[in-house]
Amino acid sequence: MVHRSIDQLALPSSSVSGRRVARLYQHVDDPTWLLSLAEWSSREAFEAYRRSAPVPGTPDQLQRLPSCRTYRRLTLFERVLTAVASVQVAIVDGPAETQAVRRDLALAYQRPDVRGRPEPALLQVHEALDGGPGLLVIAGWGAGDPLLQAGRDLERVLLDRLLASGGTALRFVGRVLAETSAS
């Protein structure tokens, strides 16, 4: 199943109509847990791809059916020329009445004086467009960066505050299996 996911992702974005960037991550503790994040030119382009692309593997190989959620990017910080080797992803959901507080906390984390050290190679904050109020926070580090310490810092500085404001989080710590870009 992983190989078919990598094969689909390895297609250059120029040959996948509407796909700009895509990365496939594998959880560090559970290699069967995969997370695919992709940027599309439009929801329609993604839906067209989803209808035509094969689901990786067969239903008996899946522990759980893949799920999809659409987000819009609020912020992006990326160290140019630094390859992202590992990530910590948090999908943070919560009540609608506290979504603005969670969004403001996540946006404030972009500021270096709030974030502290170490500085990630990639930091993105996205807001859910469907499935209820939610955020997707992605922090990535290069191969030489201390993921464990950086992950603790992300949780201490941001995730604990998001949870205290009424959110719940699904956390994913993984390594990059494959990626493709628009070029």
pLDDT in tens, the chain (183 residues): 444 555 655 565 667 888 888 888 889 888 888 888 889 999 999 889 888 876 665 666 666 677 788 999 999 988 888 888 888 899 999 999 999 999 998 888 777 665 555 677 888 999 999 878 999 999 888 876 655 555 556 666 778 888 888 888 888 988 888 888 765
User: In the chain, what are the domains?
Assistant: 2-180 (3.30.70.100)
For residue 69, give the amino acid letter: R
pTM over 0.85: no
Closest CA to 93 of 84, 85, 83, 103: 103
Using CA atoms, how far apart are residues 183 and 178, in angstroms rounded to an integer? 15
